[in-house]
């Protein structure tokens, strides 16, 4: 079945960077975009950016574009999200999700989530 | 950005009864060229990632029980859970995909009364 498995929890100090992986299985990785979404404690889900797993095109939220980099490794069927210059407000659960429409619509399925804690 | 506002923030419903969740967008998410509403609903159980329930405002995702239904158009949408089951306890999120900046509602928590 289609599955996205993310890397484990991270604890980082302010100013550091974090890189999370999202390994896909059960489908042709390059056929569908991968989206990244985060959920800070008590906050609504926040879209971060996406990558075309096929050609590597990306788009980022305006809020994060200066600090966010999304990449992919097609041989490993894995997408990566790197967020730099971390601050306490970046403490959140980070999710990757597939776009099954292939045309930037809804998200399904989602990875299990990766908790990133930013603390001095 | 389109702002998605859900109501209520939480509700408690008796088993077997109906739960109704509303979602309002700050601008229409109806795409005139195909007459489709660019809106999805997700269910998020405690400790789990969101799960797609409905897309195009009213199309159930694969495997989703027909107790879940979506309706509405333009700026006003509703998720209805009929015959509420204990397994339906979760937070429900609406999401627009009309813009290229996907935005979500604040979530509605459904509990058993």
CB of A57 less than 8 A from some CB of B: no
Mean pLDDT of B39-45: 98
A7 contacts A18 by C-beta, under 8 angstroms: no
Q: How confident is the model at residue B100 (pLDDT cuts 50, 70, 90)?
A: confident
Q: Which residue has the tokens 């009213």?
A: B58
Sort A84 into a burial class: Cβ within 10 Å, 0-12 / 13-18 / 19+: middle
Q: What is the mean pLDDT of residues B61-86?
A: 97
| Contact between A54 and A30 (Cβ < 8 Å) | yes
Token pair 């980022």 in the structure block, residue: A60
Residue-wise pLDDT tens digits, A98-117: 999 888 899 999 999 999 99
B100–A109 C-beta distance less than 8 A: no
Q: Does B102 have pLDDT greater than 90?
A: yes
120 residues of chain A, pLDDT tens digit each: 999 999 999 999 999 999 999 999 999 999 999 999 999 999 999 999 999 999 999 999 999 999 999 999 999 999 999 999 999 999 999 999 999 988 889 999 999 999 999 999
Residues of chain B above pLDDT 70, percent: 100
Give the mean pLDDT of B28-52.
96
Cβ distance B104 to A104 less than 8 Å, yes or no, reads no
- Residue B21: CB atoms within 10 A of its CB come to 23
Chain B: give the shortest CA distance to residue A87, in Å. 22
Put simply, the answer to whether B105 touches A59 (Cβ < 8 Å) is no
d(CA B34, CA B37): 9
Kindly determine whether residue B100 and residue A95, on different chains, have CB atoms separated by under 8 Å.
no
């Amino acid at each position: 079945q289609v599955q996205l498995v993310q890397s484990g929890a991270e604890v980082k100090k302010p100013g550091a960077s974090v890189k999370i992986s999202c390994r896909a299985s059960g489908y042709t990785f390059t056929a569908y975009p991968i989206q990244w979404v985060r959920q800070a404690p008590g906050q609504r889900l926040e879209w971060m950016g996406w990558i075309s797993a096929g050609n590597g095109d990306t788009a980022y939220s305006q809020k994060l574009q200066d600090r966010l980099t999304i990449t992919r490794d097609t041989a490993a069927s894995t997408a990566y999200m790197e967020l730099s210059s971390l601050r306490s407000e970046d403490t959140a659960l980070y999710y990757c999700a597939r776009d099954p429409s292939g045309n930037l619509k809804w998200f399904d399925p989602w990875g299990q989530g990766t908790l990133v804690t930013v603390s001095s | 950005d389109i702002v998605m506002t859900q109501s209520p923030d939480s509700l408690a419903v008796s088993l077997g009864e109906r739960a109704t969740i509303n979602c309002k967008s700050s601008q229409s998410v109806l795409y005139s060229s195909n007459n489709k509403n660019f809106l999805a609903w997700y269910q998020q159980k405690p400790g789990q990632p969101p799960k797609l329930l409905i897309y195009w405002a009213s199309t159930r995702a694969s495997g989703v029980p027909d107790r879940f239904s979506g309706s509405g158009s333009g700026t006003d949408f509703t998720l209805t859970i009929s015959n509420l089951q204990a397994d339906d306890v979760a937070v429900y999120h609406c999401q627009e995909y009309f813009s290229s900046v996907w935005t979500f509602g604040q979530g509605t928590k459904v509990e058993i009364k």
